[in-house]
């Protein structure tokens, strides 16, 4: 049975939560592998809408065990708030296990993130959830992990060390009052009794499932173009949202992954600062933003809007080895007469064959558009491939032709049912 990884193929917000929820029905285990509560996943079940940031979208199926594994950074208050909110809606979350190796996002991480965003330093347009600083600490070997909460002495020593380094920056650079060890200890230790029942080593669970050939689903967060290694650095996140993040973050061996599904919106959105070659403004951007509900799940920020960018999608396919694609939100384009799709880039008169490695280089990129016919049909009730109109089939064929990857899923609406499996 397969290990399936779901990956955002653009800048996040592609609709991964919905596909995860659908595939979770056939999975023995669902895993959230990387990122933090910078992510926001919306799942609509009947009349109920769930907005999740840290919990795997599989949590809505109570019979399916769900893991939050080592690559995820956890803000314990946010996590407990999410658990409590689901419990109030009769979802007890008994199916959840959290790795003791997850790093903790602490108040000073958020203060540093906010400080950097509101200072004269480079503004990334982060979600201000502390992700950059927490992953910086992890790599500097200064991080504090969930396991520290069970050992107050170790927690105190780690907090002292961190505040020795962070308070001078907070106070001296950002004019923040800084933090004291005592109140932070009290705050964290007060959370531990509620968190502890969910904490356990996920590795034995993962390896038992692999041994039993049980179907495992690894849920993505953010998107490939936000990977810390991508050429649009520093306008990226601080983790690895691609397929490699799934193995790094879970302990699943690379050679056990059998399916990698890239989720791509029929158009493109981005939040935060940074290059966006196919970005649009004016009426068309406003119309698509409203029609698609393109406001951040985590921050409520209006998302930037653009056309589908095939060179970037090809990059996502090439670097992740997608075995299939899921194209989402096609219903948002239902009314358009023609739909521009970026097929290549020019720099001056020359066709670009590789991405620029500098931000200045990205500014000089000019998208070349191909105009595809719109389908002008209401797709929101499509249930099978034959329900998808011919012009939409051509659109999907254009994506398959450009990437060499089959579009096996099409999502035409927010509900759990609005997902067409083409093959």
Near ligand IMP by CB under 6 A, which window of 121-129, 149-157, 309-317, 388-396? 121-129
Distant-in-sequence, close-in-space partners of 223: CB < 8 Å, separation ≥ 6? 7, 8, 9, 10, 11, 12, 13, 14, 241, 316
CB of 114 to ligand IMP, least distance (A): 11
Tokens, residue 392: 């939409």
Task: Kindly tell me which residue out of 15, 17, 40, 249 binds ligand IMP, with binding defined by CB under 6 A.
Answer: 40
Task: Walk across the sheet containing 216-219 and list its strands.
Answer: 96-98, 66-68, 29-32, 216-219, 3-8, 259-265, 324-328, 407-411, 419-421
56: left (phi over 0), alpha (psi -120 to 50) or beta: beta
* Residue of 27, 42, 131, 280 interacting with ligand IMP (CB under 6 A): 131
Residue 315 among the catalytic residues = no
Q: If binding is defined by CB under 6 A, does position 232 make contact with ligand IMP?
A: no
Q: Is 13 a catalytic residue?
A: yes
3-class DSSP state of 274: coil
The label of the residue with tokens 């520290």 reads: 148
Which window, 35-43, 188-196, 364-372, 398-406, contacts ligand IMP (CB under 6 A)? Answer: 35-43
- Taking CB under 6 A as the binding criterion, the range among 36-44, 145-153, 168-176, 255-263 that sits at the site for ligand IMP is 36-44
CA distance 417 to 383: 8
Cα separation, 43 vs 177, in Å, equals 39
Task: Examine residue 115 and tell whether it contacts ligand IMP (CB under 6 A).
Answer: no
Give the whole-angstrom CA distance, residue 98 versus residue 55: 10
Question: Shortest gap between Cβ of 110 and ligand IMP (angstroms)?
Answer: 10
Residue 275 binds to ligand IMP (criterion: CB under 6 A): no
CB of 131 to ligand IMP, least distance (A): 4
294 binds ligand IMP (CB under 6 A): no
Question: Which CB sits closer to ligand IMP, 8 or 202?
Answer: 8
Smallest distance, ligand IMP to C-beta of residue 347, A: 24
Q: Is 224 in the site for ligand IMP (CB under 6 A)?
A: no
Phi-psi region of 196 (alpha: psi -120 to 50; beta: other; left: phi over 0): alpha
Binding-site size for ligand IMP (CB under 6 A) equals: 20
The closest residue (CB) to ligand IMP is 272
- On whether the CB atoms of residues 156 and 137 are closer than 8 A, the answer is no
Residue 272 binds ligand IMP (CB under 6 A)? yes
By annotation, the residues acting in catalysis are 13, 41
List interacting residues with ligand IMP (CB under 6 A): 11-13, 38-40, 124-127, 129, 131-132, 221-222, 226, 237-238, 271-272
């Amino acid at each position: 049975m397969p290990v399936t990884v779901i990956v955002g193929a653009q800048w996040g917000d592609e609709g991964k939560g919905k596909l995860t929820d659908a595939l979770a029905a056939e999975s023995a285990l669902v895993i959230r592998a990387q990122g933090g509560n910078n992510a926001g996943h919306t799942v609509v079940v009947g009349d109920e809408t769930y907005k999740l940031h840290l919990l795997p979208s599989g949590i809505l199926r109570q019979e399916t065990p769900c893991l939050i594994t080592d690559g995820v950074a956890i803000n314990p208050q946010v996590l407990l708030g999410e658990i409590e909110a689901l419990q109030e809606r009769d979802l007890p979350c008994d199916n959840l296990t959290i790795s003791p190796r997850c790093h903790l996002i602490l108040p000073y991480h958020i203060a540093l993130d906010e400080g950097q965003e509101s200072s004269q330093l480079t503004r990334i347009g982060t979600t201000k959830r502390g992700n950059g600083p927490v992953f910086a600490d992890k790599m500097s070997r200064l991080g504090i992990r969930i396991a520290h909460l069970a050992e107050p002495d170790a927690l105190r020593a780690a907090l002292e060390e961190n505040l020795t380094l962070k308070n001078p920056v907070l106070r001296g650079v950002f004019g923040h009052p800084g933090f004291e060890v005592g109140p932070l200890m009290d705050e964290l230790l007060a959370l531990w009794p509620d968190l502890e029942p969910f904490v356990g080593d996920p590795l034995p669970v993962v390896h038992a499932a692999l041994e039993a050939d049980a179907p495992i689903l690894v849920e993505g967060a953010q998107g490939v173009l936000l990977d810390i290694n991508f050429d649009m650095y520093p306008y990226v996140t601080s983790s690895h949202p691609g397929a490699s993040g799934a193995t790094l973050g879970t302990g699943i061996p690379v050679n056990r992954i059998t399916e990698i599904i890239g989720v791509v919106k029929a158009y493109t959105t981005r939040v935060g600062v940074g290059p966006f070659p196919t970005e649009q403004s004016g009426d068309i951007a406003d119309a698509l933003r409203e029609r698609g509900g393109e406001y951040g799940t985590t921050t409520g920020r209006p998302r930037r809007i653009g056309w589908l960018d095939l060179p970037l999608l090809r990059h996502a396919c090439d670097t992740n080895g997608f075995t299939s694609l899921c194209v989402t939100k096609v219903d948002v384009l239902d009314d358009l007469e023609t739909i521009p799709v970026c097929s290549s880039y020019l720099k001056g008169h020359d066709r670009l064959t590789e991405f620029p490695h500098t931000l200045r280089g990205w500014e000089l990129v000019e998208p070349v558009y191909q105009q595809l016919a719109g389908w002008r049909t209401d797709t929101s009730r499509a249930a099978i491939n034959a329900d998808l109109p011919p012009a939409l089939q051509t659109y999907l064929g254009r994506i398959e032709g450009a990437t060499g990857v089959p579009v096996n899923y099409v999502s035409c609406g927010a509900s759990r049912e609005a997902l067409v499996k083409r093959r």
